[in-house]
Amino acid sequence: MSGKIGVMVCGHGSRSKSAVAEFATAAEALKTRFPDWPVEYGYLEFANPVIRDGLDALRAKGVDHILAVPGMLFAAMHAKNDIPSVLNTYAAKHGIRIDYGRELGVDARMLRAAGERVRAALEELDAAHGPAPASETCLVVVGRGASDPDANGNVAKVARLLWEGFGFGWCETAYSGVTFPLVEPCLEKVAKLGFKRVVVFPYFLFSGILIDRIYGFADTVAARHPDIAFAKASYLGSHPAVIDTFAERVTELLDGPAAMNCGLCKYRIQVLGFEDEVGAPQESHHHHVEGMGASAPGSAVETCRLCHTFCTGACRLLAGPGDHRHHGDGHDHGHAHHDHGHSHAHDHAHHDHAHEHTHGHGHTHDHDHGHAQAEGHGHDHGHGHGHHHPRYPHENHPLGPKSVVTGGLYTYERDPDAIYAQSFAIIRAEADLARFGDAAPLAERIAHAAGDTGVLADLVVHGPVIAAAKAALAAGRPVIVDTEMTRHAIAARYVPREQVRCHILDAETPAEAEAAATTRSAIAIRRAADALTGSVVVIGNAPTALFELLELIRGGARPAAIFGFPVGFVGAVESKAALVAMAPAPFATVRGRRGGSAIAGAALNAAAAATADTRISA
């Protein structure tokens, strides 16, 4: 063996700065295993340095025999096509030898690293909820997801090995994108299996947008099922066993054959469902995002109009026909193209797929290239390249990427029972309802109507308002309201429509309001003056209506209960402060500007149904 040897670790790249940093850390760790050989690394897309830069650095150190390995768990399109294309092009251009190794694959050391991550998650569950046998826990292993069934199948194999190794009660395999089932539909099905403990394990090397997506959907499903304890296991990271496996992938290039598992390679044989991809050209599809860096457009969820706390991948499904999206990670990115003078004589024996690789590219990609390059050759070559990812045959599977959106809409909870349960579970987790005593149902409903548990900090409940309201209703006394909106917010299942009185639409109301120089809502309360005593009064809109009620009370009216929730910038604060100061009857109100008919109606509904074993709906 002649020539100076160097090692090249080829990564995919990420828009996540943390993922790029973690990959670099792993590559640096590999240097300690080969102190006599220079070790460099580079990425296919997004991040810097690109693979070409790493190869340049090795050549600058006098290396003429490069041992290149894919920094990837399994061999799919990136490891089989994209990286070999870049390496072969570079080798042909510079006349050096590049041997290409195999992916990390299903390996005992990788399984040991995975086992330690899963075991840590189990210990976390035991610490939080008490010990339980593995047989009472469901494991969900989440892989990257690819258009290559062989790579997807390897994730399932890892899942089975972990399942059997730990003796879990059940195990499911999910994927973060491209194939099916995705994380959310998989976890929803797992939630129906009856297990009270679930470990979600992302079988990934490093962090990034997809890890955020997996954990984000795990949190989403966990919020829907508060009776199930979910633990999010860590990804593999730079576990020593991972670095050991990387090192072996390098040394086996010198010690013996390092062929990838080609037995089920869809480019070599007709795999069921992928028959048309046999002999597909071995070419890279990453030129448009090569070296863009982790700050490329779409890197931050904050700049995405479709995502909030994590990237769901929705934009890939909602993209227009002319939009360019990449790998199902969501988020579009601009095109900064680089030299890719494809020579493609793929003579490396380690994974040539047996497809015909010597081909000239008249690709039709239709991107205008005015590239300025790190290598300094600002060359203009508008070669329309027609290379593209083959359409994945199951891209419309109901549990695959399409599950993120439905009919062009965002994914959302449709089951009314689930919506009800999740909403009130959140309220009870966020708010200390016990401090309201018997009025807790009323406080809960007010928070629900406001969509904000923070409103409870301003809630004032005086006297037995629920008991007083229920007694008045049972006695057939009317509910007097200030507006039609408030009237419609009161549920007919608890208070018959005929028992609710609103005078704002009375024929005489407008003229009386004009004559009195006040609002029609105030007149609506005034017109009910004869019925106020013993009644339930609900004010959901107008501060003037609450002031009018207080004046009528000073004149001798004695309502049984008052729900005073006027809203607005003028008079709302003052009218409710006056109610609190006077305290003429059992009442509930919210200090400040907040209020409204929805809150007022919800408060009365809660009072009317406080002891009923039924659900309240407006």
- Using DSSP, state whether 229 is helix, strand or coil: strand
| Contact (Cβ atoms closer than 8 angstroms) between residue 440 and residue 424 | no
Query: Tokens representing 514?
Result: 């004009």
* One domain for residues 458 and 316: no
* One domain for residues 298 and 345: yes
Stretch 574-596: mean pLDDT: 97
Residue 595 falls within a domain, yes or no? yes
CATH code of the domain in which 594 resides: 3.40.50.10230
- Residue 347 predicted with pLDDT over 70: no
CA distances 345 to 83, 316, 350, 358, 438, Å, are 14, 33, 14, 5, 80
CA 26, chain centre distance (Å): 27
Residue 380 falls within a domain, yes or no? no
β-sheet with 197-202: strand ranges across: 170-175, 137-143, 197-202, 229-232
Residue 303 falls within a domain, yes or no? yes
Q: Domain end: 175, 209, 232, which one? A: 232
Residue 389 falls within a domain, yes or no? no
User: Which DSSP string do the residues of 113-153 spell out, in sequence order?
Assistant: HHHHHHHHHHHHHHHHH----GGGEEEEEEE---S-HHHHH
> Mind listing the pLDDT tens digit for each residue in 169-204?
999 999 999 999 999 999 999 999 999 999 999 999
> Mind listing the pLDDT tens digit for each residue in 258-308?
666 666 666 666 657 667 777 666 565 555 555 555 444 445 555 666 666
Stretch 552-560: mean pLDDT: 97
User: Which DSSP string do the residues of 482-549 spell out, in sequence order?
Assistant: SSHHHHHTS-TTTS-GGGEE--TTSTTHHHHHHHHTS-HHHHHHHTTGGG-TT-EEEE-S-HHHHHHH
* One domain for residues 101 and 120: no
> Mind listing the pLDDT tens digit for each residue in 499-520?
999 999 999 999 999 999 999 9
Is residue 8 within a helix (H) or strand (E), and if so which, with residue range?
strand 5-11
* One domain for residues 588 and 494: yes
* Predicted pLDDT of residue 416: 87
Q: How far apart are CA 454 and CA 503, in angstroms?
A: 33
Tell me the pTM: 0.56
* One domain for residues 128 and 92: no
Chain-wide mean pLDDT for the chain?
83
Which residue bears the tokens 């599809």? 285
328: left (phi over 0), alpha (psi -120 to 50) or beta: left
Residue 452 falls within a domain, yes or no? yes
* Predicted pLDDT of residue 284: 55
* One domain for residues 330 and 476: no
Higher pLDDT among residues 393 and 488, named by residue: 488
* One domain for residues 199 and 258: no
> Mind listing the pLDDT tens digit for each residue in 456-504?
999 999 999 999 999 999 999 999 999 999 999 999 999 999 999 999 9
Find the domain containing 133 and state its range. 108-232
Which sequence positions are flagged as catalytic? 448
> Mind listing the pLDDT tens digit for each residue in 129-163?
999 999 999 999 999 999 899 999 999 999 999 99
Side chain identity at residue 224, one-letter code: R
Q: How far apart are CA 158 and CA 445, in angstroms?
A: 47
* Predicted pLDDT of residue 278: 74
Q: How far apart are CA 12 and CA 326, in angstroms?
A: 13
pLDDT band (50, 70, 90) for residue 373 = very low
* One domain for residues 68 and 165: no
* One domain for residues 112 and 57: no
CATH code of the domain in which 37 resides: 3.40.50.1400
Q: How far apart are CA 525 and CA 532, in angstroms?
A: 9
What is the number of other CB atoms lying within 10 angstroms of the CB of residue 227?
Answer: 8
* One domain for residues 36 and 89: yes
Residue 390 falls within a domain, yes or no? no
| Contact (Cβ atoms closer than 8 angstroms) between residue 41 and residue 9 | yes
* Predicted pLDDT of residue 383: 37
* One domain for residues 228 and 250: no
Residue 376 falls within a domain, yes or no? no
Stretch 17-21: mean pLDDT: 91
How many residues are there in the chain? 618
The total of structural domains in the chain comes to 3
* Predicted pLDDT of residue 337: 35
Q: Domain end: 232, 267, 282, which one? A: 232
Of the candidates 16, 15, 332, 403, the one whose C-alpha atom is nearest the C-alpha of residue 175 is 403
Q: How far apart are CA 5 and CA 40, in angstroms?
A: 12
Q: Domain end: 328, 353, 369, which one? A: 369
Residue 179 falls within a domain, yes or no? yes
* Predicted pLDDT of residue 424: 93
- Residue 610 predicted with pLDDT over 50: yes
* One domain for residues 97 and 122: no
